[in-house]
């Protein structure tokens, strides 16, 4: 067996384990930017939401927020006998069944249906693609992508950022009517998903950050009663009551990896500080940086507002290590 094929098989096993792991678990990839979709991959610009001045689309088409909420709403714990009710959609993912024949390979089956083998690997929970059992039934989706299982504290905003798939696409593909009601254990198909950037050894504590805006902390990190729904939910950042129009600055130097509108976050800036550490700045009234721009600590990112799921002008600020939210108060100086 060629060495390249063996290496590919081993790599796929690590990928599948990472996709099935909870968002807060330790994960690592040999290639932190590996795309799906076969050797050619996909350009991120084909499916990520960008501000209207970057891609020419009108603002209302870019991941609009739902009404009547304060921050992105974490996945619900399903009650006994309860399950999500998808709505009919012409663009919803559809599956057909395929019976494995003697001599079949995962790659050959994928090519037969115009897919890649990563898609079939995640959709069917295959742990060893070298061992396909004749007579076994495989689910075949009608497009390339990744099957993701919703974890505790997940939000559609988190999943959209993690896999670089627009919220609207996730909703339409999976028949989700209300973006605030996803369920722990629910399967979501993510078309053209890009593998999350998670680096080995990046669980180390980040350095100190400066406060991103003036004003008092109005809502700390941790469990709280949601101001709209009344449910106990996880608040994955801290809120600063700064009023409208206050200057928001980079808490630490880094590169802007997202600058645009995203669901409950409203106008959002995300900065990658390296080593698996990122920060998020949400509900901005105006953004003054672009994706790909490098910024120094203290550089202006935008101005506070009340966009997205917000009950009033404030800044929602997050620090994440390997996409796991940590308490910003521990690192601010």
pLDDT single digits (tens) 224-247: 776 656 677 888 899 999 889 999
Q: Do residues 256 and 270 lie in contact, with contact meaning Cβ atoms separated by under 8 Å?
A: yes
Provide the percentage of residues in the chain whose pLDDT is more than 70.
68
State residue 261's pLDDT score. Answer: 93
The answer, yes or no, to whether residue 49 has pLDDT greater than 80, is: no
123 contact partners, CB below 8 Å, separation of at least 6:
95, 138, 139, 140, 141, 147, 189
Residue 152 banded pLDDT, cuts 50, 70, 90: confident
| Letter string b/e over residues 187-224, b meaning 16 or more CB atoms within 10 A of that residue's CB | ebbbbbbbbbbbeeebeeebeebeebbebeeebebeee
The domain spans of the chain are 3-48+77-191, 216-330
pLDDT per position as a tens digit, 125-147 = 888 888 899 999 999 999 999 99
- 3-48+77-191 and 216-330: identical CATH topology: no
238 by DSSP, 3-state: which? Answer: strand
- Structural fold of domain 3-48+77-191: Membrane-bound Lytic Murein Transglycosylase D; Chain A (3.10.350)
Q: How large a percentage of the chain has pLDDT more than 90?
A: 41
The mean pLDDT of the chain is 75
CATH class (in words) of the domain with range 216-330: mainly beta
**pLDDT (tens digit, 9 = 90+) per residue, 97-110?**
999 999 999 989 99
Element (DSSP H or E) covering residue 55: helix 52-55
* pLDDT at residue number 9: 44
């Amino acid at each position: 067996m060629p060495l390249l094929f063996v290496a590919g098989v081993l790599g796929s096993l690590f990928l599948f384990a990472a996709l099935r792991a909870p968002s807060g678990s330790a994960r690592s990839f040999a290639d932190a930017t590996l795309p799906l979709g076969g050797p050619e991959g996909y350009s991120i610009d084909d499916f990520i939401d960008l501000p209207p001045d970057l891609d020419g689309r009108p603002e209302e088409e870019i991941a609009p927020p739902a009404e009547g909420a304060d921050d992105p709403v974490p996945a619900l714990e399903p009650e006994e006998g309860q399950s999500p009710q998808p709505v009919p959609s012409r663009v919803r993912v559809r599956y057909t069944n395929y019976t494995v024949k003697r001599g079949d390979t995962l790659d050959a089956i994928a090519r037969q249906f115009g897919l890649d083998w990563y898609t079939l690997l995640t959709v069917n929970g295959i742990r060893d693609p070298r061992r396909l059992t004749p007579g076994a039934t495989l689910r075949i989706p009608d497009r390339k992508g990744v099957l993701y299982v919703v974890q505790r504290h997940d939000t559609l905003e988190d999943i959209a950022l993690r896999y670089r798939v627009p919220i609207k696409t996730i909703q339409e593909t999976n028949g989700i009517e209300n973006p605030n009601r996803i369920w722990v254990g629910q399967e979501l198909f993510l078309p053209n998903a890009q593998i999350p950037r998670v680096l080995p050894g990046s669980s180390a504590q980040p350095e100190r950050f400066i406060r991103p805006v003036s004003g008092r902390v109005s809502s700390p990190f941790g469990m709280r009663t949601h101001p709209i729904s009344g449910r106990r939910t996880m608040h994955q950042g801290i809120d600063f009551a700064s009023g409208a129009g206050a200057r928001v600055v980079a808490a630490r130097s880094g590169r802007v990896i997202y600058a645009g509108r995203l669901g409950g976050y409203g106008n959002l800036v995300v900065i990658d500080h390296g080593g698996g550490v990122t920060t998020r700045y949400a509900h901005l009234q105006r953004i003054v940086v672009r994706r790909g721009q490098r910024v120094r600590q203290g550089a202006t990112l935008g101005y506070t507002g009340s966009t997205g799921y917000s009950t009033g002008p404030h800044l929602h600020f997050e620090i994440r290590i390997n996409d796991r939210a940590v308490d910003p108060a521990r690192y601010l100086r």
